[in-house]
Amino acid sequence: MQMAKLDFLRNSRLAMGLALLIIALSAASLISKEANRTVLVWASVGELAPGQIITPTDIIPTSVLLAQSAKNYFSSAAQIVGATVISRISTGDLIPVAAISNEVESTDKRLVPLSVEITDLPIALVRGDVIDIYAIPKRDSKSIITPELLAAGVSVEQVLERSNSGSVSVLVILNSDQVISALNLITDSRLIIVRSF
């Protein structure tokens, strides 16, 4: 009788062990299947602002699990270098299909260099930041009397090295109809850059 009990216990433990092994293998198989559902999509290396043209250094392929929403983002097989950003994309974000376009009329955009005192722009201003540009009259200014908003919601294309004179060159993207009025004010005023959020 005691032997029968011992055999039963041994068989029960064996059955329990086999059941746990089967459960573990099934769980591992499910996890493996889920991992295989990941897709490679483009993600942003840095900030991308409206008007910018995507370059190879702006994007990186990233493996993510998207399931049904994969169609909303660009696969890493898609050729998006040279496309125009039409809505802001933050650092590390996946590139949404709705955020860039190959059909944007780029002839309406102009790259305009601005020379700004180092104390008149935000710390760590970088490509992809969106800014407002204000013109403040110089003491001997004749064309501008009070502070004036030169342009709002402007995308920064590039921030060049600081010069020995204490000024920074900032390349911004303006609409073609903003360029003349901006240049008229730039020559006779001090520029202040304010970062938008």
Mean pLDDT of 56-68: 86
Specify the number of domains making up the chain: 3
Is 172 found in the same domain as 126? Answer: yes
Last residue of a domain, one of 62, 80, 101: 101
Contact between 196 and 153 under an 8 Å Cβ cutoff? The reply is: yes
Lowest mean pLDDT among 13-17, 82-86, 87-91, 147-151: 13-17
144 band by pLDDT with thresholds 50, 70 and 90: low
Q: How far is CA 14 from CA 5, 22, 65, in A?
A: 14, 12, 38
- In terms of pTM, does the model score above 0.85? no
Of the ranges 34-43, 85-94, 184-193, which is most confident? 85-94
Which range marks the domain in which residue 69 is found? 39-101
Q: Do 126 and 63 fall within a single domain?
A: no
Same domain, 92 and 17: no
Q: Categorize the per-residue pLDDT at 87 as very low, low, confident or very high, splitting at 50, 70 and 90.
A: confident
Of 60, 78, 101, which residue sits at a domain end? 101
**Average pLDDT score over the chain:** 81
